[in-house]
Each structure stands twice: as structure tokens, then as C-alpha cells.
Amino acid sequence: MQQVNLGIIGGGTVGGGVFQAIQRNGELMASRLGIWPNVVKMAVRDVHKKRAVKIPKTLLTADWSSVISHPEVNLVVELMGGTTTAREATLQALKLGKPVVTANKALLSAHGEELFAAAQKSGANLYYEASVAGGIPIIKVLREGLIGNRITRLYGIVNGTCNYVLTRMKLGGADLPQVLADAQRLGYAEAEPSLDIDGYDAMHKIGILASLAHGFWVNPKEIYVEGIRGVTALDIQFAGQLGYTIKLLGIVKRNDVLPNGRTCPPIQVSVYPTLIPNTHVLASVNHVFNAVYVRGDIVGDTLYYGRGAGQDATASAVLSDLADAALDLKHKTRSRIPPFVPHERQGAVLAMAHVISRYYVRLSVVDRPGTLARIAAILAKARIGISSVIQPEGHEGESVPLILMIHDASNEAMQKALEKIARLPVVKERPVMLRVENFD
């Protein structure tokens, strides 16, 4: 039986999970692959720390670089997180010709192009199934399963922490700090949880999926991001009454309009809290579960669902990469399909100002005749259509909520109109605007 010798950098939630999963299913993998996965060394920051997963002290070191250069290690698994030391470690391994498996979406988002180029140059490969949507093998789906399709739509609930928080908020009685603390305890959140809550983790992931789907490396700076900090229990409740559920949704949409002189339409790549009709399957994706809905021009609509964060789900994705890498090492090949194949030279991201959407707007207004007329006049002047107006009953006081559902309009037109509406004396608080997706 051949052996693949692993040097793992990081023994936290994911690193501990991978170690545990190898103990549990290493033999099964060996019988399927003909290669035994063997952990040679593991780097952690503090070798004396008490760990939930027992790791023999003899395996541990605080010197990550020595793990990579260890003469017996022929496959490096980067599970430390962050973008600085992790970049250094990944480049060091690739330069030594050692393939790298990573779960680090922040690293790929910030330095993907450089790392893929380094992998190409060194002949060693870079595997990243665990970087997006936890245990769902979505990278394989895009790279292999749907390779014969143009991807026209991709919608993803790709942050387990945010989905867990929004689900708990919808169930009622929990506030953000309390639910976030639970998500951290369960091992879902990033070391810096604002990456989750403010939408950046979903941005990293949706950027990776958009790049794979459209063949050019999407610059994260061009991805429009809004997190869930501004989503209130009141909006979740009103959305529910209107037949919608609020989800943090990553959207990758191929625009139908081809600008002059271009062979490739610009792509919408964005992350924001979105009202999803309760009848749509994504509205039923709850707690830590993720789902990615992909429409290909040949296959049609497809859906991928599973746990999006946490120790075991992520470990499962890392094991899948370990298997691919081990087989490549055994057969002295590179993976059948390189980690990322740039092929769309004209690829570009559509500026958010030009993205067309429907909207939910919640205003806090003085309840007196003429209020609605003033708001409607501003929208009419901007040629923005209202599809319905609801003034929920049971609210009294100086100001009351007024909900507007708005027909398709550009984000630019909508923002300008809302700025004017916010300045009306009858409007008492900053308007809340959320986008509505109808998955057409």
C-alpha cells in the first residue's frame, strides 16, 4: 500500500476535524484509493493548548515552515486561515513542488491569481473544494460536472453563520450577539466573525464561484457586498407577511445585454440580504445549511445542498481534495482539470449601479393624508413603478411603518430616489431597502 504523507498547518476547528476524519475513515479511503493518508506533522500556534480533538503531542509543532519543508511531507494542507502567513506557506510549499490543499477562501479571493500561477509554474497543484459551501462539492460541480455548460445564473446561500443567524432571528426571540456567540461555539464562524456578518466571507466564496463559472478571475473589489447587520426582526416579520424569506444571497448573473464591441456580456456578482419568495426552494434552506442553485444553458436548473460550515462538513471536503491530490501523486499526474482555467479575456463585472432588481422598501412615516402622494411623486418622476403598498396595522405613535414593493429598477435610480424620499419631512427614519429576487 502506498502512503501519502500529510503536513497539516492548523489544528483548530477544520484541522482537528480533518485529523479526526482521517482517524475514522483513513482505512476506508485507503481501500478505495490504494493510498494510505498518513499525518506526519501538524503546525499550531500553541502546542500546549487544550484541544477538543486529541492530537498526539509528537505530531505538533509551532513552526509551520518546518512542516512544509519536512522531508517526509509530500502534501501540504493549509488550514490556518488568514491571508498573510497562509500565502507565504502556500507559496513555500508550491515552490518546493508540494501540492497544497486549502480551505481558505479569503486567501484565494485575495491572492488566487498569484497562487494558481505559482501552482502552474511549479507543476504542483492547488486544491480548494473546502473553500466554498462546506461539505457541498460545488467546486467539482463547476469544474467537472457542468463543464459543458455556460452558466447563466448562480445563486448561493454560502455563509453558514449568516444563514444560522437569519434562521434563528426568523424563529424569534434571539438577538444578533447571542446567536453569533452560538455560531462561534458551534465552529461555524470565522476567527474574525465580522467577515461572516458583514458579507465578506460570502463575497470571497461567490467570487471563487463566479470566476470558475465565467472563466476570468473576478476582482473581489468589484463585488458589491452588503452583510446582514442591518436586517431587523421587523423586516423579517414584514417580509414573512408578504410571502418572502430574507437570506444572504450570493448572485452571479450573466447579463442578457451585450454592450457594443464586446463578445461577452458583463456579469452581476454580488452579495446582499435578499427577499426570496417562500415558494422558492432556497427559502427552505435553514440553519447552517448552504445551497447553490446553478442554471446551465444545457442542463437547466440544478441544486446542491448540504452543511455549509463546521468541523465535519468541512473535513469531508478536505478529504475529497486529499483523495484527488493523493491520486495525482500516485500517478505522477496533475489533476485532470487544472485548478482554474482562465478563458474569457473580455470578462467583466457589471457595476452595481446598473444592476436591475425589484425592491422592498420600509419607511417610517408620519401617518397623515398626502404622505403617500409625496413619496409616489418622487418615484414616478424617476420612472420607478410601485407594485404594492402596505401599511401594516397595529402600529401607532409619531411614525408608522409603510412598506413599498417596487418593480424592476436600476440600483442607481433607486438609490437616488430614496435619497430624495429620506429628505421628506414626513419620513422620520432612514429608509430600509432590500432587494427582491424572482429567479427569472
Contact 87, 107 (CB under 8 A): yes
Among candidates 169, 297, 184, 293, which has minimal Cα distance to 237?
A: 169
Chain center to CA of 305 = 13
Nearer to ligand NAP, 191 or 422 (CB): 191
User: Where does residue 102 rank: exposed (0-12), middle (13-18), buried (19+ CB within 10 A)?
Assistant: buried
From 98, 105, 205, 247, active-site residue: 205
Please report whether residue 46 would count as binding ligand NAP according to CB under 6 A: yes
Q: Across 63-170, where does the E strand assignment appear?
A: 75-78, 100-102, 126-127, 151-157
Query: Which residues, 152 to 191, sit near ligand NAP by CB under 6 A?
Result: 187-188, 190-191
Out of 201, 226, 235, 324, the only residue in the binding site for ligand HSE (CB under 6 A) is 201
Query: Which residues, 271 to 330, sit near ligand HSE by CB under 6 A?
Result: 308-309
**E strand or H helix that includes residue 234:** helix 233-241
CA distances for 250 relative to 254, 355, 360, angstroms: 13, 14, 18
Q: Which does 191 bind (CB under 5 to 8 A by kind): ligand HSE, ligand NAP, none?
A: ligand NAP
Give the C-alpha separation, 335 to 341, whole Å: 12
Q: Which does 159 bind (CB under 5 to 8 A by kind): ligand HSE, ligand NAP, none?
A: ligand HSE
Please report whether residue 297 would count as binding ligand NAP according to CB under 6 A: no
Please report whether residue 189 would count as binding ligand HSE according to CB under 6 A: yes
Would you call 205 a catalytic residue per the annotation?
Answer: yes
CA distances for 193 relative to 12, 15, 181, 201, angstroms: 15, 18, 10, 9
Give the C-alpha separation, 104 to 224, whole Å: 21
User: Where does residue 378 rank: exposed (0-12), middle (13-18), buried (19+ CB within 10 A)?
Assistant: middle
Least distance in angstroms from the C-beta of 428 to ligand NAP: 41
| Count of residues touching ligand HSE (by CB under 6 A) | 11
Please report whether residue 142 would count as binding ligand NAP according to CB under 6 A: no
Out of 4, 29, 30, 80, the only residue in the binding site for ligand NAP (CB under 6 A) is 80
SS3 163: helix
* Cell reading at 10: 492548523
Looking at beta carbons, which residue is closest to ligand HSE?
161
Out of 125, 159, 274, 371, the only residue in the binding site for ligand HSE (CB under 6 A) is 159
Please report whether residue 190 would count as binding ligand HSE according to CB under 6 A: yes
Choices 4-12, 113-121, 150-158, 367-375; region in contact with ligand NAP by CB under 6 A:
4-12
* Residues at the site binding ligand NAP, with contacts judged by CB under 6 A: 10-15, 43-46, 49, 64, 79-81, 85, 103-105, 130, 134, 187-188, 190-191, 309-310, 314
* Residues at the site binding ligand HSE, with contacts judged by CB under 6 A: 134, 159-161, 188-190, 196, 201, 308-309
Catalytic residues: 205
